[in-house]
Amino acid sequence: MKRREFITLLGGAVAAWPLVARAQQAGKIYRVGFLANDPTIPTQPAGQAFLEGLRESGFIEGKNAIIERRFAEGRLHQYADLMAELVRLKVDVIVTSANEATLAAKRASINIPVVMMNVADPLGQGIVANLAHPSGNITGLVQDDSAEIAAKRMQLVKDAVPRSTQVAVLLNPDLGYGQAQWQQLERAARSLNVMLHRLEARRASEIEGVFAAIGQNRPDAAFPQ
């Protein structure tokens, strides 16, 4: 799929689905909740495609739609509070980007439609019971980044750098799916005769220290989880 086609799908067919399904009411102002980590998303191509998709479906920000944007900015504990705020605002639909935002939405409401984006392993996370028929109030796009895919990525690292024996793995231990991926990486590394160096960062301020450690250890490759 071409990049433009992808972001159009992201913004239009998926994000607008719950609202379109209800049929617009004349004169109603629809309130859309948007919860993510990165506050720069609205200025990125995907953020613009999101607005374009809504416009194509008849929902125009500032006219008949208000978008309530909230961003955790690396503070995982903020997701629950931000989601509770969106629920109090009685939004018509919630769009989430990333696992923790989607989990917060699932815990906060079973009635407000939720459209998820950039979510890895929603089955393993308990976000949906079935990918083909998610049921409940959650639907959306899945990021194919399951634990098994992580093992395949390790194989690709070895294929790209055949002599690699030391690989640094950067991860956030607070992310729910991270441990499952780490276990798969360990299995893959053993079969490839690769030693993993686990480096943890929970917030952006810790990234510089992690890269300093990578520079000191001088691994053959780095693997961001």
CATH no. for residue 79? 3.40.50.2300
The pLDDT, as a whole number, for residue 190 is 87
Residue range 187-205: mean pLDDT, rounded: 83
Count other C-beta atoms under 10 Å from residue 143's C-beta: 16
* The two structure tokens encoding residue 92: 């018509």
Phi-psi region of 90 (alpha: psi -120 to 50; beta: other; left: phi over 0): left
pLDDT at residue number 8: 44
Confidence band for 101, pLDDT divided at 50, 70 and 90:
very high
Per residue in 106-153, pLDDT tens? 999 999 989 888 887 787 778 888 776 777 888 877 765 555 667 777
What band does 24 get if pLDDT is binned at 50, 70 and 90? low
Higher pLDDT, 13 or 78: 78
* Closest alpha carbon to 96 in 65, 71, 75: 71
Q: Please indicate, yes or no, whether residues 136 and 157 belong to a single structural domain of this protein.
A: no
- Do 47 and 10 contact (CB within 8 A), yes or no? no
User: Quick one: pLDDT at residue 59?
Assistant: 86
Residue percentage of the chain with pLDDT more than 90? 21
> What is the average pLDDT score of the chain?
80
Indicate if the alpha-carbon torsion angle 68, 18, 104, 199 is positive or negative.
negative
Please determine, for residue 9, whether its predicted confidence score (pLDDT) is greater than 60: no
pLDDT, one tens digit per residue, over 164-173 is: 888 888 877 7
| 132 and 23 fall within a common domain | yes
- pLDDT-derived band at 196, boundaries 50, 70, 90: confident
**Domain termination site, one of 143, 162, 187:** 143
Give the pLDDT mean for 38-57. 85
Are both 128 and 152 inside the same structural domain? no
Question: Among candidates 168, 165, 154, 156, which has minimal Cα distance to 197?
Answer: 168
What is the residue whose two structure tokens read 């903020």? 78
Last residue of a domain, one of 100, 127, 143: 143
Tokens of 123: 């089955």
Q: Are 79 and 72 in contact (CB under 8 A)?
A: yes
Q: Can you give the pTM of this predicted structure?
A: 0.64
* Residues linked to residue 140 through DSSP beta bridges, in sequence order: 116
- Round to whole Å and give the CA distance between 153 and 188: 9
Domain of 166 in residue numbering reads as: 147-224
Same domain, 38 and 139: yes
Q: Tell me the one-letter amino acid at 202.
A: R
Same domain membership, residue 114 and residue 92:
yes
CA dist., res. 86 & res. 82, Å (int): 6
Per-residue pLDDT tens for 26-45?
Answer: 778 999 999 999 999 889 88
- Please give the pLDDT value at position 2: 43
Q: Is the domain of 181 the same as that of 106?
A: no
Q: What is the dihedral of CA 89, 91, 96, 102, to 10 degrees?
A: 70
Residues 115 and 161 in one domain: no
pLDDT at 3: 43
By DSSP bridging, strand 114-120 and strand 138-143 are parallel
pLDDT of res. 103: 93
Which of 143, 164, 183 finishes a domain? 143
pLDDT for the residue numbered 154: 81
Q: How many domains does the chain have?
A: 2
